[in-house]
A and B are shown apart, each in its own frame.
Chain A
Amino acid sequence: MVHGHDALDYITLNTRTVKGGLGIARRENLEAYLFLLPWIIGFLVLTIGPILASLGLSFTDWQVGLGMNFIGLENFRLMVVEDDLFKKSLGVTFNYSLMALPAGIVVALAMALLLNQKVFGIGVFRTIYYLPAVTSGVAVAMLWAWIFNSEFGLLNWALDLINVKGPAWLLEPRWALPAFAVMSLWGAGGLMIIYLASLQAIPQNLYEAAQIDGANVARQFLHVTLPMLTPTILFNLVVGIIAVFQTFTNAYIMTAGGPNFATYFYVLHLYNNAFGYARMGYASALAWVLFVIVLVMTLAVLRTSQYWVFYSGEKE
């Protein structure tokens, strides 16, 4: 947890230092905790219990309906030594996150920049680009199964126009994962509107000042837009890591992890153990391994953030 402190220092550095004596600090402490109450109550009453329960379960052999025995670290040993699918699914998830996460962050930013213009009908465009992010469930899965079909699908039809012969996306192990990444880009509208909100908050006078200095569009982007967006990029990166490692729904509906385990995501393995085989103890152990992995990666990102994240509140 020492690392946690350090890492967080880097993103909280900007908060102004308290001037004045102990009294003011104490008052601010009290105020802060009053503001925090909604989170503290929810955390203590609704959140922490179930989370600790799952941590406890990870040391048991509990199968829902059968007895529960404390088995120490046995679940973790099984994972590493016997469960081939644990390694397989972890690999799939890492590969996928390397494809989907950077692409998502960049594409969503590009979309947001495009939609942050004063063009006629921009409200309609914003709605169109965001819509895919809100369609969910089986209908979307079926849509994409159709789009990815090798002979009759829309994607290969489009590729054919530029004389590229597309593969059988969801049926060839090496293309299935990239296909999922493409699909996730279609839903990048969620990240996009987070960027959009931040873009809207950049004061116009910064651009005006840059223009007076003779900065062209590219320089304005590099010296005004991008620095002002870094807190949002950090947010999207951290939230993206957490989310991408929990990828589940489309694989569950569309491929059930196939072909040949090419889309067998970690959380699919976890879900199958929890609800397919009622093996709740083992599923909890899987969850806590994932927790540690994601936590370490998040801390690593937070740690680097001091070098590239800029908060406008800092320049007083």
Chain B
Amino acid sequence: MTDRLSRRTFLRVGGGLTVLGTLAACAMPTAGPAADAEAEQVSVTFYTNDVGWREERYKRIIPDFEAEFPHITVDYTHYTTNWEASLTTWAAGGTMPNVFYSRTQKTSARARLGWILPLTGYIDADPDKDLLLDDFWPIQVPQLQYENDWYLIPENISSITMRYQVEALEAAGFSAPDEPWSYYEEWPNVVKELTIRDGDETTQWGFDAGWMFQYSGFAWIWLPAGIVDTDTNTCIIDQPENVKSLNQLQDMRFRDRLIPQSGDIPEGVNMFASGRLAMNMAGVWEITSTRDQVGDMAWDIALIPQNPLNPGENLSINYGAGYAMGAETKHPDAAWDLIRYLSLPSMQQVFIVEDNWALPGRRSVAKDWLDGVLSTGSGMPAHAEHWITALETGRSVPVTAAEKEIEDVYPNLIAPILVTGESRAEEALPHIQAEIQKVLDKYV
């Protein structure tokens, strides 16, 4: 095969640009359904890498798909670990899966490298195009696209809220809030009242953000002015509003001791479930695990405060996942059929609603999801609809191709402010801004 030969030469000699260009051109999906697709039996490789139990679901629904599309055979494998190393190797070797489960944080990076193919042609040709696009969450759309092309068809989306122990909140003299607490006044006060001390020992902590302090994507929750601007080329983290917000968090943690420092938390002990922590953050994907862990303790959720810079916007952020088409897919039409099928509302019933897991990528399924959660009965939060509200009013976080690289340096950069408490935000942020800018500059 010339294909093989050329790629080896390309590695040895380094004249890869042309080869890759040719390969990419060959692999581009032809617009519109191919005429001979139905005549010939084709095979599509499909890999997933999320939580283990989903594998069984895929194995359940793939025969249905094959029955509906008799000319397509799906070659399915589930992976969970070292996914990045495998994908990179497959991308280099030209053996990317035809269809794979891909997180929205990765869309820009993968599209930029040409690992995934644009789906715009298929979406435009779809008879239900408007229905399809209307059904996506507007907040998620930027994470499904790269440079104005569609690359990902969503399956799920997650938002973030506070979760609290009902009894602890009532004992502190509050009730379930109708409106989000205000960021600089009400919320710190609630946290203060929720903290209970017995001499030197804190028997109940008021709040903990855990790892959500440290992951750049999630860190947006604590940065009202954001990290990068909307064109994703400029770091804008060093702004007065971010200084004020980070210093408030630092004070709550180190001066007022309302938020546990890392050493205060035993490894492997769930502080919330064991009643040692009155309130923390909860992603919607944690709904059933929280229920399973808390036992009889009543818990509920409340919206994260609104953005002080933009009162109409909730500080919750969203990420999700969907299905992408790998480069060099031999039968793109068949791959699209699979992607389309996997994104149907009926599939979201199987993968999302049945388990109360994350939120469906289609808005039309959200009500079923909520009904499902509430009808599950005991152990579920009474205000589960806040997770949906958080999606409707939350902020749309831009995802850059530099996402992973920023993610790798951010925890170390933010540590002096929030983990060790040795620097005030106004001292540390100019340096952090410069470092992140250096990363962004590599991607221009």
- Determine direct contact between A and B, CB below 8 Å: yes
A234 within 8 A of B: no
Beyond A53-B12, A152-B269, A259-B419, 11 extra complex contacts between A and B, CB < 8 Å? A65-B114, A67-B20, A67-B21, A68-B20, A70-B14, A146-B268, A149-B263, A152-B267, A260-B416, A264-B412, A278-B88
| Chain A residues in 8 Å Cβ range of B125 | none
| Chain B residues in 8 Å Cβ range of A68 | 10, 14-17, 20
Q: Establish whether residues B17 and A69, one from each chain, have CB atoms under 8 Å apart when the complex forms.
A: yes
A153 within 8 A of B: yes
| Chain A residues in 8 Å Cβ range of B92 | 64, 280
Please choose the segment from A39-47, A55-63, A288-296, A301-309 that sits at the chain B interface, where 4 or more of its residues have CB less than 8 A away.
A55-63
B171 within 8 A of A: no
Q: Establish whether residues A260 and B267, one from each chain, have CB atoms under 8 Å apart when the complex forms.
A: no
Q: What class of interface size applies to chain A in its complex with B?
A: 35 or more
B242-299 contacts to A (CB < 8 Å): 262-269
B105-123 contacts to A (CB < 8 Å): 109, 112-115
Q: Enumerate the 8 nearest inter-chain pairs by beta-carbon distance, A residue then B residue, closest first.
A: A65-B113, A152-B266, A150-B263, A67-B17, A68-B16, A168-B263, A146-B267, A149-B267
A277 within 8 A of B: yes
Q: Establish whether residues A62 and B91, one from each chain, have CB atoms under 8 Å apart when the complex forms.
A: no
A173–B420 Cα distance when bound, in Å, is 9
| Smallest beta-carbon distance B22→chain A, Å | 12
Q: What 1/0 mask marks residues of chain A from 138 to 169 whose CB sits below 8 Å from any chain B CB?
A: 00001001100111110000000000000010
A168–B264 Cα distance when bound, in Å, is 10
Please choose the segment from B31-39, B177-185, B403-411 that sits at the chain A interface, where 4 or more of its residues have CB less than 8 A away.
B403-411
Q: Which of B12, B114, B405, B411 contacts A56 (CB 8 A)?
A: B12
| Smallest beta-carbon distance B322→chain A, Å | 20
| Chain B residues in 8 Å Cβ range of A276 | 84, 404-405, 408
Q: Establish whether residues A278 and B415, one from each chain, have CB atoms under 8 Å apart when the complex forms.
A: no
A49–B266 Cα distance when bound, in Å, is 49
B327 within 8 A of A: yes
A152–B271 Cα distance when bound, in Å, is 13
* Chain B residue at minimum C-beta to C-beta distance from A170: B262
A271–B20 Cα distance when bound, in Å, is 24
Q: Establish whether residues B266 and A149, one from each chain, have CB atoms under 8 Å apart when the complex forms.
A: yes
A219-254 contacts to B (CB < 8 Å): none
B contacts with A, residue count (CB < 8 A):
38
A173–B415 Cα distance when bound, in Å, is 10
| Chain A residues in 8 Å Cβ range of B264 | 151
Q: Establish whether residues B266 and A278, one from each chain, have CB atoms under 8 Å apart when the complex forms.
A: no
| Chain A residues in 8 Å Cβ range of B327 | 65
A69–B265 Cα distance when bound, in Å, is 49
| Chain A residues in 8 Å Cβ range of B262 | 150, 168, 171
B11 within 8 A of A: yes
B444 within 8 A of A: no
Q: Establish whether residues A171 and B263, one from each chain, have CB atoms under 8 Å apart when the complex forms.
A: yes
B25 within 8 A of A: no
A76 within 8 A of B: no
| Chain A residues in 8 Å Cβ range of B12 | 53, 56
Q: Establish whether residues A153 and B411, one from each chain, have CB atoms under 8 Å apart when the complex forms.
A: no
* Chain B residue at minimum C-beta to C-beta distance from A169: B263
A67–B266 Cα distance when bound, in Å, is 48
| Chain A residues in 8 Å Cβ range of B109 | 277
A172–B409 Cα distance when bound, in Å, is 17
Q: Establish whether residues B113 and A63, one from each chain, have CB atoms under 8 Å apart when the complex forms.
A: yes
A236–B208 Cα distance when bound, in Å, is 46
Q: Establish whether residues B85 and A275, one from each chain, have CB atoms under 8 Å apart when the complex forms.
A: yes
* Chain B residue at minimum C-beta to C-beta distance from A255: B411
Q: Establish whether residues A260 and B88, one from each chain, have CB atoms under 8 Å apart when the complex forms.
A: no
| Smallest beta-carbon distance B122→chain A, Å | 21
- A sample of 18 inter-chain contacts (CB < 8 A) reads A53-B11, A64-B91, A64-B113, A65-B327, A66-B114, A67-B20, A68-B10, A142-B268, A146-B266, A146-B268, A149-B265, A151-B263, A168-B263, A171-B419, A256-B411, A259-B412, A260-B420, A274-B88
| Smallest beta-carbon distance B253→chain A, Å | 13
Q: What 1/0 mask marks residues of chain A from 101 to 144 whose CB sits below 8 Å from any chain B CB?
A: 00000000000000000000000000000000000000000100
* Chain A residue at minimum C-beta to C-beta distance from B24: A65
Q: Which of A57, A153, A259, A264 contacts B415 (CB 8 A)?
A: A259
Q: Establish whether residues B113 and A258, one from each chain, have CB atoms under 8 Å apart when the complex forms.
A: no
Q: Establish whether residues B14 and A56, one from each chain, have CB atoms under 8 Å apart when the complex forms.
A: yes
| Chain A residues in 8 Å Cβ range of B408 | 256-257, 272, 276
Q: Establish whether residues A153 and B91, one from each chain, have CB atoms under 8 Å apart when the complex forms.
A: no
A153–B268 Cα distance when bound, in Å, is 10
With A66-B114, A256-B408, A275-B85 as given contacts, are A60 and B266 in contact (CB-CB < 8 Å)? no
* Chain B residue at minimum C-beta to C-beta distance from A173: B420
| Chain B residues in 8 Å Cβ range of A59 | 14
Q: Establish whether residues B88 and A67, one from each chain, have CB atoms under 8 Å apart when the complex forms.
A: no
A261 within 8 A of B: yes
A264–B113 Cα distance when bound, in Å, is 26
A57–B16 Cα distance when bound, in Å, is 11
